[in-house]
Structure 1
Amino acid sequence: MLKKLLFILTLITLTPSIALAEMKGYLGTDGYFHIQGLEVNKKYTIDLGGMPIIRSGISNSCGILRIAASGTIKASDRIEIKDEKSGSTYGFTNTSIPIKETAKCDGTIKAEREIWADDKGTTYISGLSPSSAQTIRLLTSAPTRNIKANICGFLSFKLGEPRPKAIIIENQAFVLASAQSSGGIACRKGKLFVAYPNPVLVAAVSAVTWRSQNPISYSSSTQIASISGGSTSWSPPPNPNPNSGPGNSCTVGVNCDPPPPPPPTCPEGTTGTPPNCEAPPPPPPPPPPPPLPTCPEGTTGTPPNCEAPKPTPVSGKMCKYAGTLVVIGLPPNKNLVAYASERGAYNDRFTSSDSGGWAQFDNFNFDAKYEGDPASVGIQYKKDNGDWENVEDYPGYSGFPNFVYIPSIAPCKS
Structure 2
Amino acid sequence: MTHTLFRRGLTVATTLLMLAGMGGLPAAATGEPGNGTYLPRPTGPHAVGTTSVQLTDGSRPDPWAPGAGKRELMVSLWYPTASHNGLRAQYMTPTESQLLLEEGGITGVPLDVLSATRTNAFADARPAGPKRGLPLIVLSPGFTKPRTTLTTLAEDLASHGYMVAAIDHTYESVATTFPDGRVATCIACEVPHDEAFWERLVTGRAADVSFVLDELTRAHATWNGARLVDPSRIAMAGHSVGGASAVTSMLADSRVRAGIDIDGTTQVPIPNSGLSRPFLFLGRQSQYSPDSGGGAVATWKRDWERLTGWKRWLVVAGAEHASFTDIGLLAEQLGIDIGASLSAARVSEITRRYTRAFLELHLRHRPQPLLNEPSERYPQIKFCTPTTSNCV
Question: Comparing both structures, which one devotes a greater share of its residues to strand?
Answer: 1
Select the structure with the greater relative contact order (CA < 8 A; seq sep ≥ 6): 2
Provide the TM-score with structure 1 as the length reference.
0.17
Question: Comparing both structures, which one devotes a greater share of its residues to helix?
Answer: 2
Task: State the structure with more CA Rg.
Answer: 1
